[in-house]
Structure 1
Amino acid sequence: MSVVIGIDVGGSTTKIVGYTDAGKLVSMLKVEAADPLTSAYGALGKFINENGLALSDVQQIILTGVGSSLFKKNIYGIATSKVDEFEAIGSGGLALSGKKEGLIVSMGTGTAFVRAGKDGIRHIGGSGVGGGTVLGLCGKLCGATSFKTVVEMAEGGRLGQVDLNISDISTGVISTLTPDTTASNFGKMEDGVTPEDLTVGVLNMVFQTIGMMAVFACRNDSVKDVILTGTLTLVPFAKHVFQALHKMHGVNFIIPQNAIYATATGAALSYLYKNGKIHVD
């Protein structure tokens, strides 16, 4: 079996996706390590071992992500190339969602917004608000230093203790806003606020900020499908926030299966389907 592998090399987490040269998915996995090089080599070794492959079975490796620039030569003697991260985000997001066009929002350490469709793939902007924001603030405010801890703490949090809602400042009816709409993130901060309350407040602020940026981007475009990818899609609270934004603004927020592997998927497919046709050496 000949395999094409896409690797999304992050700062400490690497995602890897493999396809046969006929376009069939082999598997997906991620590896965490202290540095990008260790993470990437570890991910490749784990992928080969878990799928019963030999190095000779790997036809091509395609690298993308912030850590890909560290690689200067072929990996283990296997033909290795690189693809632009935004191109990988766009093509991977469309592939996993099954959509022909959309705004792909890659929520990693920061957040990238990529418009993809029949007219090509274009990076339209980004934000420093993302997973790094969550861990940085939750680490200092709540003592949570991992996403696992953040998720667990947020489940017991009371958002009404930290956020100021429309109902807190107005008894009248505002036609475009529901009473539970956030008027100010962290604008309430009741006495007795707990670390759990602060954690869910951070998540709400980050997801609302990312979601509203996507809403504004869609208002300047005909596209109404926002495809969410990246590590933050694993946080259960995300669905709650994006469902609320959908009801308020009519934008479709989609979290496809295996959303954290979108960029690695796009890397592999960029090689496998060059010019829209399957590519076999």
Structure 2
Amino acid sequence: MLIDKIGIDAGGSLVKLAYFEQGKIHTKTFSNQEMDNVVKWLSFLSPNAELYVTGGKARALNKLSSNNCHLIDEFQSVTTGTKYLLKEKGIVNKEFILVNIGTGTSIFHVTANSFERVLGSGIGGGTLMGLGYLITRKKDFQTFTQMSSKGDSRNSDLLVRDIYYPEEPPIDGDLTAANLGKAHLYSDATEHDHLASVMQLIGETILLLASQVATRKKTSQIVFIGGTVTNNPVLKDVLNRFRDMMNYEPVFLDKGTHAGAIGALIEI
């Protein structure tokens, strides 16, 4: 079947692609270190397809590809793609907070007819890859997610109850007082524990920022997308864990990693 249009989000770590085939959206992912393979795959799939490209590496891909490329606004693409995926999931909400956790993190306030990028943070997937390497000397994202699932962040994080021990703390003793704050004190903590603590650091930091935006904008639904949260149950658990305490409604999208590529695909 002829594929005449492909949406691409060429980001800081991953190149995400989306295209329609037989009425359904299909997706594919490459490392952004594999640009030559991306170009080869595009030539194999559909050498004459129009490319609608967004993301920080969009111009780099444009220079490599012989396809006709159209550069699309990154923020517009990711919000448009998220709205499409929410509708596909049966969620119709005219206003929400969008948290895109990629290499870094962007936080948007999205309404029916507009969007605003409110905040950004250098905490994200790049943090996981960098600290994960320093802890383990490994470089694989899935290795870090698997290792963190076997760890206990309480062996690496300094908790409120650790500070107040043996007295009773005035607030929940299981709250984090300092991320990785016990890593140098507890010699029995493992690499798995430290990686679990890194996930806690990323999740807690992003959630605190997102909840502040949600409070300011007076909306409770927070939609989490991006390559860092996809197939990452430990991070999802952190982002879910405080919903009663902080009064927010988390939403995770199956194709959230590809929201920008999907938005670029359907934008024009």
Q: With the length of structure 1 as denominator, give the TM-score of the two structures.
A: 0.83
Residues 168 and 74 of structure 1: CA distance in aligned 2, closer, same or farther (over 3 Å)? closer
Task: Check conservation: 2:17, 2:258, Cα contact below 8 A.
Answer: yes
In 2, the alpha carbon distance for the partners of 1:95 and 1:238 equals 24
**What do the CA deviations read for 1:106-146 (whole angstroms, capped 9, x no partner)?**
11111111222224122212111111111101101222311
Partner residue in 1 for 2:198? 202
Question: Cα–Cα, structure 1 residues 77 and 124, in superposed 2: closer, same or farther, change >3 Å?
Answer: same
Q: CA deviation at 1:3?
A: 3.7
CA distance in 1, matches of 2:143, 2:98: 27
Shift of residue 77 of structure 1? 4.3
Aligned residues of 2:155 and 2:189 also touching (Cα < 8 A): yes
Whichever residue aligns with residue 198 of structure 2, its letter is V
Kindly indicate whether the alpha-carbon contact (under 8 Å) linking 1:97 and 1:227 is maintained by their aligned counterparts in 2: no
Q: Which amino acid aligns with 2:72?
A: V
Query: Given that residues 138 and 199 in structure 1 are in contact (C-alpha distance below 8 angstroms), is that contact kept between their aligned partners in structure 2?
Result: yes
Partner of 1:66: 56
- Select between 92-101 and 213-222 the one with higher mean Cα deviation: 92-101
Structure 1's unaligned 5+ residue stretches are 49-53, 272-281
Distance in 2, matches of 1:42 and 1:69, equals 17
TM-aligned CA deviation for residue 222 of structure 1: 2.1
8 A contact 2:39–2:64 mirrored in 1: no
Runs of at least 4 residues off by over 4 Å? 71-75, 170-174
Per-residue CA deviations over 1:151-183 (Å, capped at 9, x if unaligned) read 121122121111122333345475xx5332212
TM-score, normalised with respect to structure 2: 0.86
Which residue identity does 1:149 align to in structure 2? T
Aligned pair count?
Answer: 257
Residue among 71, 78, 81 paired with 1:82: 71
Specify the alignment match of 1:277 in structure 2: none
- 2:96 maps to 102
Q: Answer whether contact 1:225 1:252 (CA < 8 A) is retained.
A: yes
Secondary structure of 1:204's aligned partner:
helix
Change (3 A) 1:203 1:77: closer
Equivalent position of 1:17 in the other structure? 18
The Cα of 1:87 is off from its aligned counterpart by: 1.0
Instruction: Name structure 2 gaps, 5 residues minimum.
Output: 88-92
Match of 2:47 among 47, 51, 55: 55
In 2 relative to 1, CA 146–243 (structure 1 residues): closer, same or farther, beyond 3 Å?
A: same
* SS of equivalent residue, structure 1 residue 227: strand
SS of residue matched to 1:91: helix
CA contact (8 A) 1:63 1:83 kept: yes
| 1:110-121 map, 5 Å | 110-121=104-115
- Letter of the aligned partner of 1:205 in structure 2? L
Question: 1:96 is paired with a residue of what secondary structure?
Answer: helix
Structure 1 residues 237, 72: closer, same or farther in 2, change over 3 A? Answer: closer
Deviation track 1:40-65 (CA, whole Å, cap 9, x = no partner) reads 4145246x2xxxxx434x3x321001
**Does the 8 A contact of 1:32 with 1:39 survive in 2?**
no
Displacement of 1:76 in angstroms is 3.3
Map 1:106-145 → 2, pairs under 5 A? 106-145=100-139
Q: 1:94 to 1:77 in 2, by over 3 A?
A: closer
Matches of residues 179-258 of structure 1 in structure 2 within 5 Å?
179-189=173-183, 190-233=186-229, 234-258=231-255
1:144 aligned counterpart, secondary structure: coil
Percent of counterpart pairs with the same letter? 24
> Counterpart in 2 of 1:263?
260
**1:12–1:39 contact (8 Å) kept in structure 2:** no
RMSD: 2.3
Structure 1 residue 260 displacement after superposition: 0.9
Amino acid corresponding to residue 259 of structure 1 in structure 2 = G
Q: Residue 77 and residue 90 in structure 1: after superposition, are their counterparts in 2 closer, same or farther (change >3 A)?
A: closer
Residue by residue, what CA displacement relative to the aligned partner does 1:178-229 show, whole Å, maximum 9, x if unpaired? 3322122122332311111111111110111111110111111022111111
Q: Deviation per CA, 1:74-108, whole angstroms, max 9, x where unpaired?
A: 94344x21111111111112221234332211111
1:254 is paired with a residue whose SS is: strand
